[in-house]
Amino acid sequence: MGVETAELSLTSSAFFFVGQRFRSDKANLFQFEIRVPTRFEGEMYSKIGSTQTTGETPLPLQEVVLVDCPDEVGLIHRITGVLAAHQWNIESNQEFVDGEASHFFFRAEVSSKTCCSTQGMSDLQTALVDVLPAKASVRIVSREPRPIVICATREPHCLGELLLLDAVGELPGKIIAVISNHDTLRQLVERFDVPFHFLPHHEQSREVHEQQLAELIDTYAPEAIVLARYMRVLSERFVDRYSEKLINIHHSFLPAFVGAAPYHQAFERGVKVIGATAHYVTAELDAGPIIAQDVIPVDHTFSAKQMAQAGRNVEKIVLAKAVRLVLEDRVFMHSGRTVVFS
């Protein structure tokens, strides 16, 4: 009975919190709670079930409060006042005002020893909306690990970095599947006890392949889909289906050298730095809102091949950083750009 209560509590709680972020996809969100693979599911249930069955004092509920709205005087005072009135403790917070757009962004990590129901969370969200300007966006999301699906092609460096971080518990999420249009990476993935799906694209149209890919992704209902050197150009229809969920790594310092063979483009231009960019995917190739970037120096002695070799380390670090930022809800998108709280 105790374990059943714990599972129901987790399911309803996670459905509400994540549902605030993706309201248009509630059916799939509910499936996420009952279809996540055992490796991810068991860890989450054990954290809550242990307090339900032993009679121990439950751990404080830990959430992230995210607000963006038109800027005006007194917003922080109002937000913190509501949190205090509802018995929420602010553990850390960051805020930023875009002066040109007159827009306010706020992120706080909060905890409560008293609020433990979806109704209590709903009341908190309503109270926050009531004190904020019109058109305010208020999200309250759980700090629990999020499920991730990775798409890759042949190169192992970005995928391997994420698998290793997940294995040692340094990724704020759980990799629940890897999908590839080549079978090259199967052995690497299966070493980490992660399901690997080979979905070849040869001898079929892009539409058919993307439909198969989407159906496979949907069986896992991930909150993020990471393109770890997935060397396929995705259609606008596919991108729209997973709006704000697709994270790509491009092997150049965007907006320079868009598209194929960026290291060769960089070599031809004689650049003195090369870099990598992690960004959200949009219909326009390599033009989505940027999440993270970095560069390293090169000089005239580097061939295009040597640039590519040197750049791989930057690529994997930048992608891992971007995934962490997104999964920790540190990224706001506004007017085609991002506000990133580190």
Residues with a catalytic annotation lie at 286
- Distance between CA atoms of 291 and 319, rounded to whole angstroms? 9
179 contacts: CB under 8 Å, gap ≥ 6: 149, 150, 151, 152, 196, 197, 199, 213, 216, 217
